[in-house]
């Protein structure tokens, strides 16, 4: 019953100072890789703007009654009713220092102000016991992959199809090793190719000198579809949270809506 929209900066895009609406057909150079992926996966309105307040206003004017700010805890000019912190279960806060000395954009103490802490557990390779532990008051989020979608279109293949085979695995994300490990957990022989986060792919980046299947994240796929061939596949990632998390979140939204 809600009408959500997403506000994002659109990191790394050309014409970064130009606000724009983003849909699944928007070139990633103009919309940013993550906003284009979000629009493709959700079909909701997505607005990119370096000014998050202006993006929020545009979404409200477009009829949205819930604004999800992609990666926006530190944008204090944008009012917020609910804050969700997402933490990597393995790395947590790293060395506890801010960029560039460490991985944090905000002091670790900032987490005390957040309403929910979601812990990205990744995917267990040997059952639930292989997962790191989540703490009291934390909501564990598990990641799942089970199929690969040809970038040229057509029927998806289960990852079991690639079991026992060698593949080129491509990841231009913040933590490429997680993607490689998830594929290996499926019994796939991974030849890893890690690129910088938000990498702008060229056709030459995917020429590896051997005709093996190329499996990549969906974030990479939105930038490679234009020059993909029959060897190139996107591996969709699904995130699963406890049902109680959604009950709590929707309860908060309902109470906000009644103000």
Asked if 13 contacts 30 with a C-beta cutoff of 8 angstroms, the reply is yes
> What is the residue-wise DSSP string for 7-53?
EE--TT-SSTTS-EEE-TTS-HHHH-HHHHHHHHHH-S-EEE-S-HH
- Residue 95: which residues within 8 A CB-CB, separation 6 or more? 101, 102, 103
Statement: residue 18 has pLDDT above 90: no
Evaluate the omega torsion of the peptide bond into residue 243 and state whether it is cis, within 30 degrees of 0.
Answer: no
Return the domain boundaries, the chain: 1-80, 82-143+239-259, 146-236
pTM: 0.79
pLDDT tens-place string over residues 189-218:
999 999 988 888 889 889 888 889 999 999
How sure is the predictor about 245, in pLDDT bands with cuts at 50, 70 and 90? very high
Q: 126 falls in which pLDDT band (50, 70, 90)?
A: very low
């Amino acid at each position: 019953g809600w009408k959500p929209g997403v506000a994002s900066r659109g990191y790394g895009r050309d014409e970064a100072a130009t606000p724009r609406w983003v849909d699944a057909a928007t070139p990633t150079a103009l919309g940013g890789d993550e906003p284009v992926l979000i629009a493709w996966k959700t079909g909701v309105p997505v607005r990119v703007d370096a000014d998050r307040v202006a993006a929020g206003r545009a979404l409200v004017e477009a009829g949205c009654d819930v604004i999800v700010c992609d990666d926006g805890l530190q944008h204090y000019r944008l009012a917020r009713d609910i804050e969700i912190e997402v933490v990597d279960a393995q790395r947590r806060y790293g060395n506890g220092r801010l960029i560039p000395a460490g991985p944090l954009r905000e002091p670790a103490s900032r987490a005390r102000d957040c309403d929910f802490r979601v812990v990205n557990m990744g995917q267990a390779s040997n059952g639930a016991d292989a997962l790191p532990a989540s703490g009291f008051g934390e909501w564990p989020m598990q990641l799942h992959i089970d199929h690969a979608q040809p970038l040229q279109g057509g029927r998806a293949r289960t990852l079991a199809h690639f079991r026992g085979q060698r593949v080129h695995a491509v990841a231009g994300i913040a933590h490429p090793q997680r993607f490689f490990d998830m594929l290996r957990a499926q019994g796939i022989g991974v030849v890893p190719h890690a690129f910088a986060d938000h990498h702008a792919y060229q056709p030459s980046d995917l020429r590896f000198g051997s005709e093996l299947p190329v499996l990549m994240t969906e974030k990479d796929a939105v930038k490679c579809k234009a020059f993909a061939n029959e060897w190139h596949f996107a591996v969709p990632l699904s995130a699963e949270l406890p049902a109680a998390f959604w009950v709590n979140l929707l309860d908060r939204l309902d109470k906000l809506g009644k103000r």
